[in-house]
Amino acid sequence: MKRVLAMLLVAAISTATLAGCGSQSNTPAADTSGSETAADTEADADTKADANSGSEAGGEVVKLKALANLHPLTQDVEDMEWVAEMEAEAGVEIEWEYIRADWDTVKPTRFAAGDIPDIIINGTVEADYTKYNGLFLDMTSYINEELTPNIVTMFEEEPETKVLATTLEGKIYCLPKFQGKWPATNTVMFINQNWLDNLGLEMPTTFTELKDVLMAFKEQDANGNGDPNDEIPFDFNADFDNAWFNSAYSLTNLMGAMGVQLTDWGTDSYFAEDGEIKCYAVDERYKLFMKYVADLYANGLINTNAITNDYSAFQSLSRGNEAGEAIVGCVFGWEETDKFGPVLYEQYKPLPALDYDIDCEPGTYDTRWRNDYTGLNMSNNRAVVNANCKNPEAAMRFLDRFYDQTHSVEGLFGGVTDGNLEVTGENSYKVLPPQNEDMDAGTWKWTSSFADNSPMYIRRSSEVEMAEDMQFALEERKVYDDVIAKASVSDTYPQMFMKYTEEDQNTMAVIQANINTFIDNQWSLWLTGEQDIDSTWDTYVQNVYDTGLEDILKIRQAAFDEYLKNLE
């Protein structure tokens, strides 16, 4: 999430601010391919060998080439002292190449031609290992206690990371990451506590109470500025990656009130319930959900522009009007200072998960909240090695240093010797304030480290004193801890762990695109009242099934069963 937010801030950061990120003289100009090539690191090879004397590197310095697909804000790797330390520890010297733009455009040509260096950081996806068969090293035999002890530790302590990295055929072509300090959910539902206090209202606990509160926000000048018509009771974002289901800040988060356990994002409308993969877009509970939100919309309680607003507009609206007054009453977001800005954030409080009580008693459904822990803390494809690398042992030895306890924290937040991180104990760290006072902590880390794109294993046992924004994010989510804890393995569907054959992938790609067309075209018609839900529901459901939903469910179920088996 923070990566997305940082990318959105790029355009807004001035040249003066960027100058504070690092030395401009050390930043080579991008060529027409979007690639940059840096000179060899300045560290003396003999010094590196001495620093590693007696280590597994055997005192010899091995020269390697590496490509890093970096965020546009990220400084040159040569300016990261913590990376130079890793090179010395591993007995290697890296010549770095940078990609800061258009990698997806450049990549196919280079991969097809076999034009890759010894190591690639953050430059591949799952499909690449099949499409460019033979291009990447099968790391399986190189992952052992002697050569890669930190990676072995990660696989042993967090076995899901090994499942994530292993192909359906049992091979490992890439290394994942585990940054276990991020929260268990991407989404907080915020409500303006000042507005509740102004109107003498309690925090809502059910769908009915939420509607009553939103109605009061609309009719009673909740922000107290004398204008009863400038309040937006409820806002959401449907344009995050242009997908209703993929948005962490969509109204679909309310589906948890009906017992639907949302997991991560990018799973379209699929979820697991007692070990069975289901599509909630054809579930009767989705019908109940759509009728509820359509009623809110019909009563003027939902922002009418939310359907078309992009993410930038969604963020801006929550930060108030020109007079600095709050105009949004209830909204989904990541973290309060990020969502509402430095002035208004204190007005908002997290709203606990609501119970569904329309035409039934509260508690009829097993209330849930979206569980994004795996999506926020794990991902695959952080690093690969060229199958033709002349010294794969050295490459793997270097990559293992990213998974060292301290280097992992440095990879996310910046180096100790670079002044971004402080070691406060044997297993504890403190993230230091940004060296550029004009940047927030979430953006600053992208200038001085690989940040979320880094290979890393931040142990659960490590203690990390976060910057203020992450402290707020963790504290805000405590209201969801008990609800999220309800999710068992059989109720949790983390799509990133699913393994499919190439044939199944192709089948799903075609069918899912057609299914999404039906789903995406329908929800807004129902929400805005252009079509009646009851009279069109059966036809809609039949259309989705006729498009091939049963085939998709069978494929997904088989992959989920295999995933559960691998966790045993």
Strands 276-279 and 421-425, by their bridges, are unpaired
Q: Residue ranges of the chain with pLDDT lower than 70?
A: 1-59, 239-246, 266
Interatomic CA distance for residues 334 and 339, integer angstroms: 7
C-alpha count within 13 angstroms, C-beta hemisphere, residue 477: 25
- In single-letter form, the type of residue at position 38 comes to A
Contact by Cβ (8 Å): 51, 89: yes
Coil, strand or helix: which one is 172?
Answer: strand
- The first and second tokens of residue 498, run together, are 């699913």
pLDDT at residue 311, as a whole number: 87
Max Cα separation, the chain? 78
pLDDT of residue 36: 42
Amino acid at 197: D
- Strand 232-235 versus strand 270-273 pairing type: unpaired
CA distances to 143, 349, 387, 398, 501 from 56, rounded to whole Å, are: 14, 52, 22, 11, 38
Q: What's phi and psi for 177, nearest 5 deg?
A: -130, 155
Residue 243's Cβ-side half-sphere holds a number of Cα atoms within 13 Å equal to 14
Asked if 453 and 121 touch (Cβ cutoff 8 Å), the reply is yes
E strands of 109-251, at which residues?
Answer: 119-121, 175-179, 188-192, 232-235
Q: Give me the pLDDT at residue 266, please.
A: 62
Q: What sign for the dihedral angle of Cα 295, 299, 302, 307?
A: positive
Please report which helix (H) or strand (E) contains residue 88, including its range: helix 81-90
The per-residue pLDDT for 440 is 82
The angle subtended at Cα 137 by Cα 36 and Cα 129, nearest 5°, is 80
- Both tokens of 96, joined, read 């770095």
The pLDDT, as a whole number, for residue 37 is: 40
Alpha carbons 197 and 179: distance in angstroms, whole number:
39
The pLDDT, as a whole number, for residue 51 is 36
Q: If you ran DSSP here, which 8-state letter would residue 354 be given?
A: P
DSSP state at residue 545? I
The structure tokens listed for 413 are 């937040």
The confidence score (pLDDT) of residue 47 equals: 35
Please tell me the distance from the alpha carbon of residue 460 to that of residue 405, in angstroms, as a whole number.
11
Neighbour tally for 374: CB within 10 Å: 20
CA 198, CA 310: separation in Å to the nearest integer? 31
CATH architecture for segment(s) 2-11+33-182+375-464: 3-Layer(aba) Sandwich (3.40)
Task: Give the bridge partners for 234, in sequence order.
Answer: 302, 330
The first and second tokens of residue 39, run together, are 């000179």
How far is 453 from 432, CA to CA, in rounded Å? Answer: 20
- Say how far apart CA 442 and CA 159 lie, in whole Å: 29
Rounded to an integer, what distance in angstroms lies between the CA atom of residue 372 and that of residue 492? 10
Percent helix, strand, coil in the chain, to 5, is 45, 15, 40
- Look at residues 95, 67, 40 and name the one whose alpha carbon lies nearest to residue 383: 67
Residue 299 exposure: Cα atoms within 13 Å on the Cβ side = 19
> What would the two tokens of residue 521 be?
């075209």
Q: What is the pLDDT of residue 32?
A: 30
Residues in the chain: 568
Q: What is the pLDDT of residue 31?
A: 33
Tokens of 444: 């600053």
Query: Can you identify the CATH homologous superfamily of domain 188-374?
Result: Periplasmic binding protein-like II (3.40.190.10)
What single string gives the DSSP state of each residue in 418-476? TTSEEEEETTEEEEPPPSSTTS-HHHHHHHHS-GGGS--EE-TT-EEE--HHHHHHHHH
State the pLDDT at residue 507: 94
